[in-house]
Structure 1
């Protein structure tokens, strides 16, 4: 650390307005901290790597030229002790799991999150490291997301769980934590086993939704396959959704989750609201024939073949965090 400043922290974001806000608020909230501010991730990488006094960095995950996840990976290679915090304006929980497990990201916050919260967590981690030399994997990295999220392996052994998921497992009769720390889904939905461990010649699906219902209780599951680790292990993100409390996801979330174009996402959002295809097409500003063409592509990307299935899949997906 420098003589005059107790902590040096770097912010990397292509949003100049957000960087200016961080600059102002850092001086107000932590006047003894030294801030560095970069809108170019490549310039930031070189400067942070060359400066051993930088204790922490706050990254935006979506930046042109180099993503926050790519930048975090390069910084981690160069600086094993660097505290890395990542921000996202998208409900990208798969990236959150990868960031924590493979890159060693300290915290993963959705936008907007108050700077004071991030600074308090960084300060606490610095103080913790002064007394403890070993690194620890945070289990609360997804607590700020509003849905229950459980990370599991192919045997449904629970790897991580946020606070919301723990509450769902505590009160629900449809899902629970069972023997040997496994996620028990009762009754088990049809097709779950084949999704987790597909036949040898069958290409694995990236995501699939399931609906559970028993004695009037309902719960939807959206399961996302996470890229395999270097050791070949497979993990999954299970998102627990109460359909009665859901609203259609934001357009950017649909684009991020299913790989839709913006026009496809706009149409999907309207269909999820219960509109007929011709009504949705009119609101989106496209012809009925174009909407039918879009719908075929949407079906392909979301893995369904009928509009009711599309609604179920979309309404089981991640709601907006913006």
Structure 2
């Protein structure tokens, strides 16, 4: 059966293709629709071809099992004759391997035949950013071979698929960088809360989420924030409103600070309210408009001891003492925590002074808290 692609069908498929990078499984809707349009058994998109060192990353249409993907990655990719195709050119397996050669091959007998695949249509896309992608469309041995109509239809989508791949790569880089920076802020024990143009919460990091859940000085009410006392909340809302006005008027970023009392009597929270500059082409609602930074003086340093030890060449005992001091304990309290005498603690402290070049305990604490150890 020859494919019949109306303008409406083409537009629908194209929409799914460009929506692909935002799906949980990229391009799965487009691939399933293409599978139906071409009356094929499977459509497979290989975003990362497998090698001897890494597994491939594949997106399969309904019907292709994870076991099939795993077996291809581990063994059969090395036997696959349908690879390294001319860039962006749609070709068939029959143009590479004769039917008789294919039927006698181990690749067919052990991989294709068990899933009833014989006819394959495909194209490779090698982008300027280094992506090496493959799309493969399969039919069974008793099905109609792929002809010029199917090749022409797939060729129409190849330039769009390449653009969509580039969008996917860019979004993936942005997401990776965002997660990296968010993780660094979490490690530094700084809470971050992002508000939209109405002052409602868009996003929180782990530290801020913990503080909100505790409801001790800051809490979430109807998607908005309440802090400290009624007077604190009034001042906080004034600062947020000022930041919102600053952002809407395209003024330089406004930064305001305040302290917030906690009902539990624990140390006050420190809060920074800052407007978020919009990019030139920002538009629409629910854009990041104001960011709230929160510091909790009672949050202990989460710097891994092995990293502190490696950075400053401390002994295990010196590292334990330094970490307790960095988390606010006095020398006597740290000695009791470690079960050692004050004289032993003082000897460890002198040794850390010698190794770091500092002369006071406060300087040692500041050195550790400002080091990259907190990012470990």
Instruction: Give the shorter-chain TM-score range.
Output: 0.3 to 0.5
Task: Flag the structure with more relative contact order, 1 or 2, with Cα contacts below 8 A and sequence separation at least 6.
Answer: 1
Q: Identify, as 1 or 2, the structure richer in helix.
A: 2
Taking structure 1 as the reference length, what is the TM-score of the superposition? 0.37
Taking structure 2 as the reference length, what is the TM-score of the superposition? 0.32
